Amino acid sequence: MAKFSSLIPLSRGASAPNTVNFEGGRAFTQSAKLELVSVLLTTFLEDAFYRTEKQTTEKLRELITKVGDPRFVAKAALYARHTHGMRSVSHLVAGELAKSVKGERWTKRFYAQIVRRPDDVMETLSYYLAVYGRPVPNSLKKGLGAALARFDAHQVAKYRREHGAFKMVDAVNLVHPKATPALSQLVRGELAPAQTWETKLTQAGAAATAEVVAAAKSQAWGELVRGRKLGYLALLRNGRNILAQAPEVVDDLCQQLADARAVRTSLVFPFQFLSAVEALKQGNLSGADRVMDALNTAIDHSLANVPTFAGSTLVALDSSASMMGHPQAIGSLFAATLVKATGADLMLFSDDARYVTLNPRDTTLTAAQSIPFISGGTNFEAIFQRANRAYDRIVILSDMQGWMDGGAPVQPFADYQARFSVATRIFSFDLNGYGTLQFPQERVYCLAGWSDRVFEILQKLDRDPEALVREVESVPLED
């Protein structure tokens, strides 16, 4: 799984809708930079409700060309990869820049910087070779080679992809990195397999009888958890298996899941906690309640930087049919977090809109899962027609595919502000990066992304409309 929470102020020039969205509703176009950022921070390069993986890939290529500023594109990719853990889109951007940007000194450093794990090298090369073939540009080879030379024997062995179509040894032979002990052993076929949790369990599964297999897997899980050999995402994905096969390590499992530092450094997406919770609910395992408590603590750690806002806030969550899946999970989680942390009001909207009250004693996860999704259409006008008080800010969580009553709620928003004599700031949060907006007015900002960083950026933008632009531009890109 891999695919900034980011926010760029909208263009102030448009006063009326100038395009239509996927549902045919009136909408506003984004600047090329804003649309690129929206896609980079919300897509895992897989099929979405309105757009296929292939269409998203083509849209990214088009936007990279349309932006016309390769350094901005590179900075956005670095921000997406290292701040928000987005992987596949960063590989695509690196490959496209390698094809289109020639003779620039900064590109070699960029290709080295974009690599966070050894398999980023293979994925970037695989993308370039699949799309553009050989020869591979020298700057790409030198940058990826410099990145490969950073990794130790364990990292190289872990991501060697011995049985893959494109192995790490193929990448080494292609880019010719500086020789290191680990890479030299890899090329000579002398590098020992990494003792990862996958290899340990594979070895355990080779035992002869079911009883022996179960005992071996229990021992393997126990050694991995006690020895802290599992990465945080592996703990999340395998929490139920560990509890079922090695219940004696439940104390260690809970301690590691609830570790604040591990949560913050893992780059785990908030909605991945929800997947872990759903898996834990399957069956009736002893100790599941304790692991659930640890997950609740972990999610609170991951969302601990929710800012305090002056004045009143309304969170409007899109509960229409196109929000099902990742957008629903992340939208509900962010909505519950904002409501619990800031005392904001919560409204759900689809065909119509209505206020919803969450139990203040619920944990963040429980509150998120209690939010009912209505399905139906997407009516942005209903937000402003049903809002019954003056709000300093309204945070809208949606895929921005409004179409009922025509789409963009220009007049209802103006009427709402006149009715309550308020100049409301709108934070419009695009959960799918489809490329159109619902608001062009002053004091309106478009957000995109999956990470907890969105709360930090919300606070900055509430004070400074240009905060995110400066943040993206401040990403180091060395010549």
On whether both 97 and 125 belong to a single domain, the answer is yes
On whether both 398 and 359 belong to a single domain, the answer is yes
Cα 36 from Cα 63, distance rounded (Å): 6
On whether both 221 and 279 belong to a single domain, the answer is yes
Q: Is 262 helix (H, G, I), strand (E, B) or coil?
A: helix
Q: What is the pLDDT, as a whole number, of residue 469? A: 64
On whether both 286 and 324 belong to a single domain, the answer is no
On whether both 181 and 215 belong to a single domain, the answer is no
The label of the residue with tokens 């509960």 reads 319
Q: What is the pLDDT, as a whole number, of residue 180? A: 96
Other C-beta atoms lying within 10 Å of the C-beta of residue 204: 19
Domain boundary (246, 273, 302) is at: 302
Please report whether residue 28 resides in a domain: no
Q: What is the pLDDT, as a whole number, of residue 302? A: 76
Instruction: Please tell me the total count of domains within the chain.
Output: 3
Q: What is the pLDDT, as a whole number, of residue 105? A: 92
Q: Which residues, other chains included, contact 346 with Cβ-Cβ below 8 Å and sequence gap of 6+? A: 314, 315, 317, 335, 339, 355, 356, 357, 358, 371
CATH number of the domain that residue 459 is part of: 3.40.50.410
Q: What is the pLDDT, as a whole number, of residue 22? A: 44
On whether both 290 and 324 belong to a single domain, the answer is no
Token readout for 443 is 């004091």
Please report whether residue 215 resides in a domain: yes
CA-to-CA separations, 395 to 182, 346, 392, 428, 454, in angstroms, rounded: 50, 10, 10, 6, 12
Phi-psi region of 287 (alpha: psi -120 to 50; beta: other; left: phi over 0): left
The label of the residue with tokens 């203040």 reads 360
On whether both 338 and 452 belong to a single domain, the answer is yes
On whether both 258 and 167 belong to a single domain, the answer is no
- Which pLDDT tens digits describe the chain residue by residue (479 residues)? 333 223 334 443 445 554 544 444 444 455 677 678 767 776 655 433 334 577 778 888 999 999 999 999 999 999 889 877 888 889 999 999 999 999 999 999 999 999 999 999 999 999 999 999 999 999 999 999 999 999 999 899 989 988 888 999 999 999 999 999 999 999 999 998 876 666 766 666 665 566 777 788 888 889 889 999 888 988 998 999 899 989 999 999 999 999 999 988 886 766 678 778 888 888 788 899 999 999 988 888 877 667 778 899 999 998 887 777 777 888 898 899 889 888 899 999 988 999 999 998 888 888 998 998 877 777 888 999 999 999 999 998 887 654 445 446 778 888 999 999 998 888 877 765 444 555 644 456 766 555 666 677 677 777 776 666 677 778 888 76
Token readout for 200 is 């340990």
Domain boundary (268, 302, 336) is at: 302
Please report whether residue 31 resides in a domain: no
Token readout for 284 is 């009736």
Please report, in angstroms and rounded to a whole number, the separation of the first and last CA atoms in the chain: 31
Cα 417 from Cα 414, distance rounded (Å): 5
- Show the 3-state SS of 422-465: CCCEEEEEECCCCCEECCCCCCEEEEECCCCHHHHHHHHHHHCC
Q: What is the pLDDT, as a whole number, of residue 403? A: 46
On whether both 146 and 79 belong to a single domain, the answer is yes
On whether both 64 and 146 belong to a single domain, the answer is yes
On whether both 228 and 365 belong to a single domain, the answer is no
Please report whether residue 294 resides in a domain: yes
Backbone phi and psi for residue 397, each to the nearest 5 degrees, phi listed first: -110, 110
Q: What is the pLDDT, as a whole number, of residue 397? A: 87
On whether both 425 and 461 belong to a single domain, the answer is yes
Cα 237 from Cα 275, distance rounded (Å): 8
Backbone phi and psi for residue 375, each to the nearest 5 degrees, phi listed first: 70, -160
Q: What is the pLDDT, as a whole number, of residue 207? A: 58
CA-to-CA separations, 219 to 154, 198, 216, 279, 433, in angstroms, rounded: 22, 14, 5, 22, 45
Q: What is the pLDDT, as a whole number, of residue 315? A: 95
Q: Would you give the distance in Å from CA 429 to the centre of its chain? A: 13
Using alpha carbons only, give the angle 214, 215, 216 rounded to the nearest 5 degrees: 90
Please report whether residue 1 resides in a domain: no
Taking every pair of Cα atoms in the chain, the longest distance, rounded to a whole number of angstroms, is 76
Domain boundaries, position 226: 208-302
Please report whether residue 34 resides in a domain: no
DSSP 136-149: PPHHHHHHHHHHHT
